[in-house]
Amino acid sequence: MSKGYRHPAMKQLKDQQARYAPRERRLEQVERAEQLLGEIESSKRYPYEYLCFRITGYRPEGSPALVLDGDDVTHDLRLFVEDLSATARQSVEQVDEPVLTVEEVGKRYNVSTRTVTRWRDRGLVARRFVIGGRTKVGFLESSLNRFVSANQGQVERGSRFRQLTEAEREEIIRRARRMAQFRPGQVGLIEAARRIARTMSRSTETIRTTLKAYDRDHPEQPIFPTVQAPLDEEAKSQIYLRYRMGVSAEMLARQYGRTRSSIYRLINEMRARRLLETKLEFIDHESFRNPEEAAAIMAPVPEPASGKAPRRTKPPKGLPPYLASLYEVPLLDRDQEAHLFRQMNYLKYQAHTLRAQLDPTRAKTAELDEIERLQEEALARKNQIIRANLRLVVSIAKRHVGPTNNFFELVSDGNMSLIRAVEKFDYSRGNKFSTYASWAIMKNFARTIPEENHRRDRFVTGHEEMFESAADTRADEHEYESAVKRMQEVVRGMLGRLDDRERKIIVSRFGLGGASEQTLEQLGRELGITKERVRQIESRAQDKLRRFASEEKLELPML
């Protein structure tokens, strides 16, 4: 069953009860949540305030507008019951009715444990009990009876499943051994089970279980030996890189003599490690741990306090395109600014919380997708704040321009100071961001401008023309061409690690490979998205390319 909550408010409610509610109170809430499950209809929508009251007995404050889809409620309530019951560590001896394990349910209805797992995904409510000194999944007799009554046809089909005959079992083993002998290293257990299942009109799981049981019972002559030399870090990195460049998991499994599922596990492990290596900083706040605040934090950006849409300033004539584009972005008022900072840091807090629970060796795709989604949304808020304050950098840079200072170099340096200021600004203190950012930019200029002048003065000799004319220009053409080819190959590899839309935008924006350069607006029309969305994707792609370039120890001018 999926371990990811579909709505963060439900997960935060579980975390809050697990942290603060007494054990008896938690057991009571588990009962109430399971009773509520029986009343939820997938086609309806339910206010979070109502769900919280039914489970805990109190109505939350600050979330009156939060409404959840019935299908998401059903999914999250089942997770809530299982996760919260695990924190109570209730032994089966303390329960008033029989508790059945997964294996016992399988024996009762003559189905496999995998079928029982599918039943859980389709509505069978599970809890966690202490069984034999260990916490295990168990099912109350009453919960099982409710599921069977509501899914009579499904249970009967599973119970009528025909067991394998001895002749069928021998045929499966014969076919699998022939595949393993004639295609060594190319057909693994899963692939063989899939092919035999199609031929014999059986489920893949039945074939796989049969072959695993044979190998376990005949270790002297297994069909698919499980003992393999572990992959080293270089091989893992190559597999991950090639998968990102579009090589299928099936192809990688054949080339490295692994199963497809093991390749996916390795890819998730490497992906999780990359995520954990990425620096994640945020300004914490106590409201982040209160599920009742979630809806208010993630609400849309408030309208301007004046009630009027911000008036866009017309740029002066003759400005370069970059400076003229800054006037297209409306400024933020104090409330809008604080709201975006709060959202950005809240999204980072959520990503940080999920990352803290992440085990790279057991990482699930859904968990990694959720972490990346949160980080991308946080980045979008950050970029929105930065764009709204770029005019501030220009106004400060103009005041520092001198005979030896290039205006656009100052703007570039000031933009970096602005980005760092967004990361470090504590919105909860009530200060206006522009004040903090102005101080950070001017402080940086006060340090970097004298340093640049000092370096320039230090290396001025008065004989620059002589040195230039005496420079050794005898470059080895073959070495130069080889270096260019190597760089082109590396750049192509880096672009191949981007997704299709990111690659299209980078190639078109910078005119790579002979492509014509396009504006944000042109690309937006071509891709069917807004100009702002194109800018966000371009920024995300550049961040990825910077990371790839750092790994390859390569400097690219467009980054």
**Residue 259 pLDDT more than 80?**
no
Q: In degrees rounded to 5, what are phi and psi of residue 554?
A: -125, 140
Return the percentage of the chain with pLDDT > 90, whole number: 23
Determine how many CB atoms are found less than 10 A away from the CB of residue 394: 17
pLDDT at 279: 87
Q: What average pLDDT does the chain have? A: 82
Segments in 433-530 forming alpha helices (H): 433-458, 464-469, 477-496, 500-510, 520-527
pLDDT at 185: 57
pLDDT at 514: 63
pLDDT at 307: 66
Determine how many CB atoms are found less than 10 A away from the CB of residue 23: 11
Q: Characterize 223-249 residue by residue with b for buried, 16 or more Cβ atoms within 10 angstroms of its Cβ, and e for exposed.
A: bbeeeeeebeeeebeebbbebbeeeeb
Whole-model pTM: value is 0.49
**Residue 476 pLDDT more than 70?**
no
pLDDT at 169: 87
Give the span between the Cα atoms of 293 and 346, in whole angstroms. 11
Give the span between the Cα atoms of 429 and 337, in whole angstroms. 13
User: Per-residue pLDDT tens for 74-115?
Assistant: 999 999 999 999 998 999 888 889 999 988 988 888 877 878
pLDDT at 507: 83
Q: Characterize 500-517 residue by residue with b for buried, 16 or more Cβ atoms within 10 angstroms of its Cβ, and e for exposed.
A: eebbbbbbbbbeeeeeee
| DSSP H or E segment with residue 68 | strand 67-69
Give the span between the Cα atoms of 557 and 481, in whole angstroms. 19
- Arithmetic mean of pLDDT, 195-202: 85
Three-state DSSP class for residue 69: strand
pLDDT at 513: 66
Q: Is 460 left (phi over 0), alpha (psi -120 to 50) or beta?
A: beta
Instruction: Say which residue, 239 or 153, is predicted with more confidence.
Output: 239
Query: What pLDDT band is residue 463 in, cutting at 50, 70 and 90?
Result: very low
Order of strands, sheet of 90-91, starting from the edge strand that comes earlier in the sequence? 90-91, 127-131, 134-140, 99-101
Instruction: Say which residue, 527 or 340, is predicted with more confidence.
Output: 340
**Residue 395 pLDDT more than 70?**
yes
- Arithmetic mean of pLDDT, 123-131: 90
User: Per-residue pLDDT tens for 413-462?
Assistant: 889 999 999 999 998 888 889 888 988 888 888 887 776 555 555 555 45
65 Cβ contact partners less than 8 Å away, ≥ 6 residues apart? 295, 299
**Residue 246 pLDDT more than 50?**
yes
- Arithmetic mean of pLDDT, 214-242: 81
Q: In degrees rounded to 5, what are phi and psi of residue 448?
A: -80, -35
Whose tokens are 């954990």? That residue is 276
Query: Per mean pLDDT, which of 12-16, 181-185, 231-235, 367-371 is the most reliable?
Result: 367-371
Helix (H) and strand (E) counts for the chain?
A: 26, 6
391 Cβ contact partners less than 8 Å away, ≥ 6 residues apart? 326, 327, 331
Task: Of 269-273, 315-319, 360-364, 457-461, give the lowest mean pLDDT range.
Answer: 457-461
pLDDT at 506: 85
Give the span between the Cα atoms of 323 and 394, in whole angstroms. 8
**Residue 356 pLDDT more than 60?**
yes
Query: What pLDDT band is residue 473 in, cutting at 50, 70 and 90?
Result: very low
- Arithmetic mean of pLDDT, 379-383: 93
pLDDT at 502: 87
Residues paired with residue 47 on neighbouring β-strands, in sequence order: 67
pLDDT at 298: 92
pLDDT at 63: 57
pLDDT at 140: 92
User: Per-residue pLDDT tens for 278-325?
Assistant: 889 999 999 998 988 999 999 998 888 766 666 666 776 766 777 778
- Considering only CA atoms, which of 182, 42, 214 is closest in space to residue 123? 42
**Residue 466 pLDDT more than 70?**
no
pLDDT at 134: 86
